[in-house]
Structure 1
Amino acid sequence: MSAPVLLYDGVCGVCNSAVRTILRYDREGSLRFAALDSDFAREMASRHPELIGLDSAVFVRNTGQPTESVYIRSTALLQVAGYLGGWWRLGYAAYAIPPFVRDWLYERFARVRYRIGGRHDTCPIPSAEVRSRFLDTAYG
């Protein structure tokens, strides 16, 4: 599988809203999604130990290939912006901000994300139209 994958907090309301937005603007329709607590994410963590216990967005390029690479926190979000293209690429300007500053801001927001967007008891099931883009066997 070489399509890019976004790992996200499946029970986070803000994260689920972001995934719905990405689905709406994804021109290529190739980006795949998996919850951080999915089998796919655990498989990724077995190849990338830095992902173990990570509670952050993760963008994966070249999945399953020798050139597989992972991007976390703010860099993952910037990778999504680059993938979406168009005016989303304006987000690339944030690369001018040092990563430690971007990630500090990311972590501050991540701490309050449940207060802002709520928390689901379980990862919401995607609609039938996009279900095939989610890498979780529970969605069939």
Structure 2
Amino acid sequence: MTEQPVLLYDGDCGFCATSVRFAERRIGLRARPVPWQFADLEALGTTRERADHEVLWIERGRVHGGAQAVAKLLIAAGAPWSLAGFPLRVPPLRWVAHWVYRLVAANRHRLPGGTPTCSLPADRR
């Protein structure tokens, strides 16, 4: 039996928590969602800085961040979601996905479920 992937997200961010709940209800999240604030980051092979910077998909010792974590989430969910996930792994869509992810991450406090706390760095929350 293989270990279930882990989806690390910012538990202090309303937009992030809302997005994870959406993935659980609508997409069929096939990973264990864990707020990074309650995770053993070292055991998962990542750092606080990286976890605070982007959502992380951790599977079999490999860490995928940002848009690539979202792509892995979609691929793991199977059809029809995987049809959106696979193209996100290949240039030039991979580059566009990275840009869109950074844009969303920078403005998550303005999006549905977001709060002013979403825009603060971890050490100021």
Shorter-chain TM-score bucket reads: 0.7 to 0.9
Q: Distance between the aligned counterparts of 1:33 and 1:2, measured in 2?
A: 13
> What percent of counterpart residues are identical?
25
> C-alpha offsets along residues 9-38 of structure 1, whole Å, 9 cap, x if unaligned?
112222112211222232xx7520111222
1:93 maps to 2:87 = yes
Match of 2:71 in 1: 78
**Contact persistence 1:13–1:120 (CA under 8 A):** no
Quick one: distance in 2 between partners of 1:120 and 1:33? 23
Residue pairs, 1:45-56, within 5 angstroms? 47-48=45-46, 51-54=47-50, 55-56=53-54
Counterpart for residue 39 of structure 1:
39
Superposition deviation, residue 120 in structure 1: 8.2
- Residue pair 2:30, 2:76 contacting (<8 A) in 1 also: no
Distance in 1 (alpha carbons) for counterparts of 2:48 and 2:20: 22
Contact 1:6 1:33 in 2 (8 A): yes
Q: Please say if 1:17 is aligned against 2:18.
A: yes
CA-CA distance at 1:73 after TM superposition: 0.7
TM-superposition CA deviations, 1:56-99 (whole Å, max 9, x none):
0100112xxxxx11100100000000111121112122233434
Q: Could you tell me the TM-score, scaled by structure 1's length? A: 0.67
The runs of at least 4 aligned residues of structure 1 exceeding 6 Å deviation read: none
Encode CA deviations 1:39-67: one digit per residue, 9 max, x unaligned.
Answer: 333532xx34xx440220100112xxxxx
The 8 Å contact of residues 34 and 41 in structure 1, kept in 2 or not, is answered as no
| Structure 2 equivalent of residue 124 of structure 1 | none
Tell me what 1:138 maps to. none
Q: Which runs of 5+ in 2 are unaligned?
A: 118-125
Tell me, yes or no, if structure 1 residue 105 matches structure 2 residue 105. no
* Separation in 2, partners of 1:19, 1:33: 7
Give the structure, 1 or 2, with the largest relative contact order (CA under 8 Å, sep 6 or more): 1
Give the structure 1 partner of residue 121 of structure 2: none
For residues 120 and 31 of structure 1, do their structure 2 counterparts lie closer, same or farther at Cα, with a shift above 3 Å needed? farther
